[in-house]
Structure 1
């Protein structure tokens, strides 16, 4: 493999190591916010079976690492919530530790407006340690559009990421789209696909082989209105993407 290609791959891995979704909170958002006066507590757990395997510019590899994220979200009004994240990692060779934290306010279009689709906007800001992400301060801008037709559901998150400190701080907005489609096979079980990508600076995209593209085969279990459960197996489609992951999200409303 040419040295220039190896260098490009390493740079791309570093540049997208920890956006809010990447290996810490792997989730396509729905448009609904947490109900007023309620709190949602979630644990995002995942394991990387096949990821990056070497330290590059001080950033630790992702191969054979558990990521555990605690998310606490409170609903303040019928259309406004605030979420707080605590990112953690568990692995050998000094890879166990606290990674960073984000805060995420979100507003939604009220149901009383009777729009034909659900719409909300999430803004997530925070920091992460340099050994886990070369970009240590970042903002995620996540528009959310979703729709339910009978047993079918689709959600589109055309996400934009901005680094304020690190190698990507002068690149501008990075386009990182997420899409989910699912079908209710029963009253309890929904099966579907989730897509996560990172294509490079907005309107100045990387070559395909330098982009991140990842597909998850996922299921949602709706066994109680107070509980949330999502699990899936994901595989990367390009060389700069972690190739094999398993994730579980377990949430409880209070």
Structure 2
């Protein structure tokens, strides 16, 4: 019993981790016209080879997420995420919800610099995260010059009721290669707790090669292939995002 109690105490002291299945998405500082809806369908799959501390299950499977967004003002957009996961073992389970509020500097569509700030509230089960509730604060720095674009999202996650916060930044570089097509590199990082960062081998680093194609004024597609750069990262994974503007 003493050993069991000690084990439970150690597990309770573990820092809250990011979601077992989560989105790979970098946010820019530009939004569409007010009173406009957009609908995005995300599909992430693969993610083989990693085990979460205390979770006990490999991160193998697929995640489908419906994202419903609405632009309320030239400086604000709200989006609701509804994820559903399916493990390769056949188990299917819901992932709660995420509610994201994006605040941007209005009129940045043609400027070389766009700035914004995301506030994201999530409620997800233990199958996704070790803390049921959490808040992410995500600054947005969006630089454009000619066909090039660089986006920085130095996000900080606050798992409510658990130890934290966690520093999980992301960066995206994009080159426009034609009127409708873009090639990009995305790097997602997880340094764990800000006050107790993980050693380099324990950090998660996912690198994606992406291609974006604008099918029409209303439809766009993004494809991405990712690979983990450290032992704590997922090995191979892919993503597809279909965007629809109304």
TM range (shorter): 0.7 to 0.9
Alignment of 1:1-254 (within 5 A): 15-18=16-19, 23-52=21-50, 57-58=54-55, 60-63=57-60, 65-93=61-89, 95-111=91-107, 116-165=112-161, 169-171=162-164, 173-202=165-194, 204-254=196-246
With over 3 angstroms needed to count, the CA separation of the structure-2 counterparts of 1:196 and 1:80, relative to structure 1, is same
Which deviations, in whole Å up to 9, do the C-alpha atoms of 1:95-128 show, x marking residues without a partner?
A: 3111110111111111279975101111000111
* Alpha-carbon distance in 1 for matches of 2:221, 2:105: 25
Q: What residue is the counterpart of 1:3 in the other structure? A: none
- Kept in 1, the 8 Å contact 2:112–2:144? The answer is no
With over 3 angstroms needed to count, the CA separation of the structure-2 counterparts of 1:213 and 1:58, relative to structure 1, is closer
- Kept in 2, the 8 Å contact 1:73–1:83? The answer is yes
Structure 1 residue 17: Cα displacement: 3.9
Aligned-pair RMSD on alpha carbons? 2.4
Structure 1 residues without counterparts, runs of 5 or longer: 1-9
Structure 1 residue 225: Cα displacement: 2.8
* Alpha-carbon distance in 2 for matches of 1:131, 1:114: 42
SS of 1:209's partner is helix
With over 3 angstroms needed to count, the CA separation of the structure-2 counterparts of 1:253 and 1:246, relative to structure 1, is same
* Alpha-carbon distance in 2 for matches of 1:243, 1:181: 22
Structure 1 residue 15: Cα displacement: 4.0
- Kept in 2, the 8 Å contact 1:44–1:250? The answer is yes
Which deviations, in whole Å up to 9, do the C-alpha atoms of 1:229-250 show, x marking residues without a partner?
A: 2111000011111111010000
Structure 1 residue 49: Cα displacement: 4.9
With over 3 angstroms needed to count, the CA separation of the structure-2 counterparts of 1:147 and 1:61, relative to structure 1, is same
* Alpha-carbon distance in 1 for matches of 2:217, 2:180: 11
SS of 2:171's partner is strand
TM-score where L is the length of structure 1: 0.84
* Alpha-carbon distance in 2 for matches of 1:43, 1:50: 22
Structure 2 residues without counterparts, runs of 5 or longer: 1-10
